[in-house]
Amino acid sequence: MHVRKPTIGLAAVLTVTFSLMGGQAVAAPSATASSEVADSAVAARVFTYDASGSAEFRSAVDRGAAIWNESVDAVELRPVATGQRANIRVLADNGWPRALPTTLGNGTVYIGRQAVDQGYNTIRISSHELGHILGLPDRKPGPCSSLMSGSTAGIACTNPYPNTVEKAEVEDNFSSALAHTGGAARSGVMIVD
């Protein structure tokens, strides 16, 4: 036995009922309007960072965030406003640089003085560690042209910019996150280097 679902008839009855009751009928958004909303949502997802604990590395952290803002469209990193909670905390310590992503776009970055004392570039360190928060893994060993090659590029490497593949991966991570398929962030796993 086949049972018919009266969905079209029910929708028509409700529309007539609301119009008779003085209610306002609202048209469903068009495909174009939905597309425009989706495009603006993908345009830039804003994450705030708190570099107040980054000590002498504050300007390097700000520059690292600016580099990501210049490099990708899906994410914008902004300094946190006073009294607000940041998505990303940036701290200076005496260890090796590392990141602890909690979820995509959220976590803690440590700008370790050990690498700086060995001669590694502070802006590259900052950009690299922020890359982990944006869902990128280490790519070791790697050339200087790969930001995520980290320390394997050597102390002479000062390139703080993600390459084309790294940029595309961040864009994809956040497009995937918006589509609820998840990103590449390894939540709760400390990434050293």
Which residues are registered as beta bridge partners of 49? 79, 88
Which residues are registered as beta bridge partners of 48? 78
The whole-angstrom separation of Cα 127 and Cα 192 is: 14
The pLDDT, as a whole number, for residue 193 is: 66
The model's pLDDT over 105-159, given as tens digits with 9 standing for 90+, comes to 999 999 999 999 999 999 999 999 999 999 999 999 999 999 999 999 999 999 9
Q: Which one, of 52, 85, 76, 58, lies nearest residue 134 by Cα? A: 76
The pLDDT, as a whole number, for residue 43 is: 55
The pLDDT, as a whole number, for residue 64 is: 98
User: Which residues have a catalytic role annotated?
Assistant: 129
Cβ–Cβ < 8 Å for 174, 104: yes
- For 55, left (φ over 0), alpha (ψ -120 to 50), or beta? left
The model's pLDDT over 38-53, given as tens digits with 9 standing for 90+, comes to 444 445 799 999 999 9
